[in-house]
A and B are shown apart, each in its own frame.
Chain A
């Protein structure tokens, strides 16, 4: 972000100045319109932190606005001074977000959207029914006071804060955690990001801004009631605005709010009825034709003068290394103790329904070993990886890393203990660049260095796997082979003690396979990382592994040094596919 920093500062400063001057040069009507615009923007933008950045479609965001408004008004009429009442609006909204996080974040995708949609009606119900506290459906009236100008300035300050927060999120470690979650929650966790607190904080942050916006608007309105505060069709307007502009883009919500609020003003003036219907139509049209938003529309994205509006925000840094430099990875090389067991599986078992995918697997892996894990498709190799990396919790048995039982730990805790993994089908963070993907692994894993440093050292990892030239390329633009390389770089960046490599060689040429084998050897010899490698292409494994573990139907059928394992009849039958299967099976039964 370094090069865009002055530009962004200048932009925010100019915007702030314009907001400050408006009430001096304009009359009450433009000011009150601008006020509504500012409030709507705060709601839309704070909503977009959860949707555009984190990927959770929260349709109940408006409830936080209403909750803030209610908290503020109810305290104010009970004689609490202004400042603490505003503070209370923020606190109560955040508290509501915290409590709601527990049920809501159990849901994913459209279920999350639906679950959140129930919140606004629930709040309306509470506001109308808890008459003792909220005065029910007759609403709360504040003492009449003309506060448009101070409310406007408060809203303006809040808008500047909102923009600054958005901009901070785009470039900060926390922001990258959020965007990692949006792109692939499981991989984010495997990188060492603890999901739930990040989600709660993001929802809480967005609720605080919406709550304060509600309080400011209620102050200016001087009247609230359940119907206006928790009206479902009004509730969706800021969301529609953010989506109209372009969710997740720096300027998307701002432009959407300006367009939609202007439309609203026109409708109010021109139409005496059916305003809701026209709104609904606008929302339907956005959903049908532009779910990515106006700024992602081809006409704008391809227009030279307008393209900057739709700019994505990525970390930009000057290359720290000369081209062709094959520098050392910034990893600590521990002293190897070849007798020390890094990973021990004790009768680890995993079943899905009645289907036992991993059956009482017991293996020991010692420091500095390279172990090949082989077996036919469906034999449980990937499931075993999922058990070790904490994606699944074993149904039976134990998994011990460096003497510590990890069977009950979360995937992020296991990642921070030093277990890294790649995925057979690559799962990069698609909307981020190669540098960012690697830096997330580096910034949250066992190494956990600050983001800036991680961004810089990402380059060494990218070069190590041959992605030096693609460092600023978005991950979804890479070829399959490059994505596989990125998987390895991302996993290495987390400074693992034990690296689980899931099928990298398939699809590579003979020369590429040789290079890759050398990488694996170097990872072990130079950085002391223990490796378990699942691979189908046997000739690749044969070049580097010390030991072969063979799985079939979820059970270990062989665990021996390479030379012995390839002579084992059962291994030949089930994995290498020896023609004499019947003899092998007799032996197995015997």
Chain B
């Protein structure tokens, strides 16, 4: 294998991993703050991607314009979804709450995929942006991909700074680490949960647009992304952005190389197999179990 192909595969892995990390951020924040394992999280990405592709096909607008157009409704949808369906579960017992959460998120996953499939068709779609090509010797990189990578890095930095310095960002971290401690500081727990759920949904909508600019999307692909995001937070730790970024990139690169060296059809298996292996080898060693 020549070095230029190696770099190419590595780059596409980086890109894929960056998007996975974005998906994982939302899932991880929502789990940390609200204790909700949102199984429909990836489906929201798929649907955002499909909708963005349709808007692009109809208008030809720059995808950067489509992002704010999508994020706001998805943010609102997330807020209402949490308020109407998930928040009332908190008053139930632990086992009922788990079952309720799983049923509601799984049921919504099926509903959302099916409705989108009927409305928008089940075909794969994408945002076919024409792009200039950058050439570094034999390595060819489309300019769009560079921009997307920059966007992901920028978004991660903004998110990091927000959680570190903004009052509400700190409240989110506080609730993750000790809900009761946050309450007695004056943080409104239910509101923080709903807003985080909405924020996580908005974040995944952004990821959906970026994803559709590189890969095809369809209404039913979402769950496999949720599985990847879950694998990433198991490796990287709940509420740990840096950990999620590193784990996401590891997974993306691993998938790229699997697809290239072996066969693309095996790439989706990596995350599940990785997950199962980690569970066997590190039953206690990962950040996840410290909280539980």
A interface residues (Cβ-Cβ under 8 A, vs B): 55, 57, 59, 102-104, 106-111, 113-115, 117-118, 121-122, 125-126, 128-129, 232-233, 236, 240, 243, 247, 273-277, 279-288, 291-292
Contact = CB atoms under 8 A, between A and B. Distances in A.
B98 interface: yes
B110 A280 contact: yes
B65 interface: no
A271 to B, nearest CB: 11
Contacts of A114: 37, 39, 230
Contact of A113 (B98, B113, B273, B277): B98
17 contacts: A57-B99, A109-B292, A110-B101, A110-B102, A113-B102, A114-B230, A118-B275, A118-B276, A233-B114, A247-B99, A277-B114, A277-B118, A283-B110, A284-B108, A284-B111, A287-B99, A287-B100
B88 interface: yes
B122 to A, nearest CB: 11
Given A104-B279, A106-B280, A113-B102, A281 B107 contact: yes
Contacts, number: 140
Interface in B97-131: 97-104, 106-115, 117-118
B292 A111 contact: yes
A288 B103 CA distance: 8
A233 B109 CA distance: 9
Given A106-B279, A121-B227, A287 B102 contact: yes
Contacts of B39: 114, 117
A287 B279 contact: no
A276 B113 contact: yes
Contact of B279 (A55, A109, A115): A115
A274 B219 CA distance: 13
A232 B223 contact: yes
Contacts of A273: 118
Contact of A281 (B96, B111, B283): B111
Interface stretch (B69-77, B244-252, B263-271): B263-271
B292 A125 contact: no
Given A125-B268, A276-B113, A277-B110, A284 B85 contact: yes
Contacts of A104: 279
Given A111-B288, A277-B114, A286 B103 contact: yes
A91 B272 CA distance: 24
Given A109-B292, A274-B114, A291-B96, A283 B276 contact: no
Contact of B104 (A102, A128, A274, A284): A284
Given A110-B101, A121-B223, 20 more contacts: A59-B106, A109-B98, A110-B102, A111-B288, A111-B292, A118-B230, A122-B269, A126-B269, A129-B266, A236-B110, A276-B113, A277-B114, A279-B110, A280-B106, A281-B111, A283-B106, A284-B85, A285-B107, A287-B85, A287-B104
Contacts of A59: 102, 106
B8 interface: no
Given A110-B37, A122-B269, A288-B85, A283 B227 contact: no
A42 to B, nearest CB: 21
A565 to B, nearest CB: 37
Contacts of B96: 291-292
B280 A102 contact: yes
Contacts of A240: 103, 107
Nearest to A119: B272
B145 interface: no
Most B-side CB within 10 Å, residue of A109, A110, A126 = A110
A284 B107 CA distance: 5
* CB-CB nearest 3 A-B residue pairs: A287-B103, A280-B111, A283-B107
A243 B106 contact: no
A129 B275 contact: no
B115 A274 contact: yes
B131 to A, nearest CB: 32
A288 B276 CA distance: 30
A128 B265 CA distance: 9
A330 B153 CA distance: 70
B103 to A, nearest CB: 3
A231 to B, nearest CB: 10
B88 A288 contact: yes
Nearest to B31: A110
Contact of A284 (B103, B113, B279): B103
B110 A233 contact: yes
B280 A103 contact: yes
A55 B106 contact: no
Given A115-B279, A118-B272, A55 B95 contact: yes
Contacts of A282: 107
A21 B270 CA distance: 50
Given A55-B95, A243-B99, A288-B85, A122 B110 contact: no
A121 B118 contact: no
A277 B109 CA distance: 9
Nearest to B266: A129
A59 B275 CA distance: 16
Contacts of B106: 59, 117, 236, 280, 283
A309 B269 CA distance: 44
A122 B102 contact: no
Contacts of A286: 103, 107
A114 B42 CA distance: 13
Nearest to A273: B118
Contacts of A103: 275-277, 279-280
A113 B97 CA distance: 12
B279 A277 contact: no
A107 B39 CA distance: 17
A277 B266 CA distance: 30
B35 to A, nearest CB: 8
B21 to A, nearest CB: 19
B163 to A, nearest CB: 23
Given A117-B39, A122-B269, A277-B111, A291 B103 contact: yes
Contacts of A55: 95
Contacts of A122: 269, 272-273
Contacts of A109: 94, 98, 292
Given A115-B275, A129-B266, A57 B118 contact: no
Contacts of A108: 292
B177 interface: no
A274 B118 contact: yes
Contacts of A106: 279-280, 283
Nearest to B94: A109
A322 to B, nearest CB: 39
A440 to B, nearest CB: 19
A138 to B, nearest CB: 14
Nearest to B224: A121
Contacts of B263: 129
B92 A291 contact: yes
Which of B103, B117, B273, B279 lies at the interface centre, i.e. has the most chain A CB atoms within 10 A of its CB?
A: B103
B72 to A, nearest CB: 24
A524 B109 CA distance: 60
Given A59-B102, A121-B272, A286-B103, A280 B108 contact: yes
A288 B292 CA distance: 25
A126 B269 CA distance: 8
A247 B39 CA distance: 21
A140 B39 CA distance: 31
Nearest to B284: A106
A354 B272 CA distance: 34
